[in-house]
Amino acid sequence: MAVTNFWAYLITFEWFEKDKDFDHEACTAQSFGSFHADDEVARVTWRFSPAAAATAREFEFHPNQEIVEQDDGGLIGTFEASGLVEVA
């Protein structure tokens, strides 16, 4: 993963302790990308044309995605996610 668009950074020696009850997988299960908002979970549907379907098949867009092949060679992908700003 590349980290881009940084203009400056500062290395510090500050540390924090992770909350022992924090469950990263549960927290990010509905996230799309790096954005997460509990009040913004929606069903997302993407339709890929036959020309784009071959490339789309190579990706897992979300852990709970469902992919349905279409008769025309395209595909439809659906999943539930929050962080809709990144979906767009």
Tens of pLDDT, residue by residue over 18-72, are 889 988 777 777 676 666 676 778 888 999 999 999 999 998 888 889 999 999 9
- Find the domain containing 77 and state its range: 40-87
CA separation, residue 2 to residues 5, 6 (Å)? 10, 11
pLDDT confidence of residue 2: 59
- The per-residue pLDDT for 56 is 93
The verdict on residue 14 lying in a domain is no
DSSP alpha helix (H) spans, the chain: 24-28, 50-56, 84-87
Report the alpha-carbon distance of residue 67 to residue 48 in Å, rounded.
10
More confidently predicted of 45 and 87: 45
Amino acid type, 21: D
Greatest Cα pair distance in the chain: 57
Q: Does residue 33 lie in a domain region?
A: no
Q: How many domains does the chain contain in total?
A: 1
Residue 75, pLDDT above cutoff 70: yes
Residue with tokens 């996610």: 81
State how far the Cα of 80 lies from the Cα of 70, in Å rounded to an integer: 20
Residue 78 has pLDDT above 90, yes or no: yes
